[in-house]
Amino acid sequence: YWVEDKSKLAVRADFLTLQGKVFKSATMEYGNKLTVNGEKINFVSKLQIVDAKNKKNISIIRYAAPKIEEHSQQIFNISSLRR
């Protein structure tokens, strides 16, 4: 990840193959805000992922109206996944 010094927000990420070569790059935008413990924080509004070999292959994920929710830790347990 590339983290902006002033804001401490991730602005770019490179995804590597097992051989260490970039196969996807992502950039982040922070147009959303969340309130956490009474403090407003920036939150991702857009994630753009670009294929390293074919720059025309782009995926865009837009996040709208984010909210904080409680989730059971069980959903993050790898043994909970089924095939």
Chain segment 4-14, per-residue pLDDT in tens: 999 999 999 99
pLDDT at 83 over 70: no
* Spatial separation of the C-alpha atoms in residues 48 and 80, rounded to whole Å: 29
For 62-77, how does the pLDDT look when each residue is reduced to its tens digit (9 = 90+)?
A: 999 999 998 888 888 8
The secondary structure of 29-46, three-state, reads ECCEEEEECCEEEEECCE
- The per-residue pLDDT for range 26-46, each reduced to its tens digit, is 999 999 999 999 999 999 999
Model confidence at 82: pLDDT above 90: no
pTM given for the model? 0.79
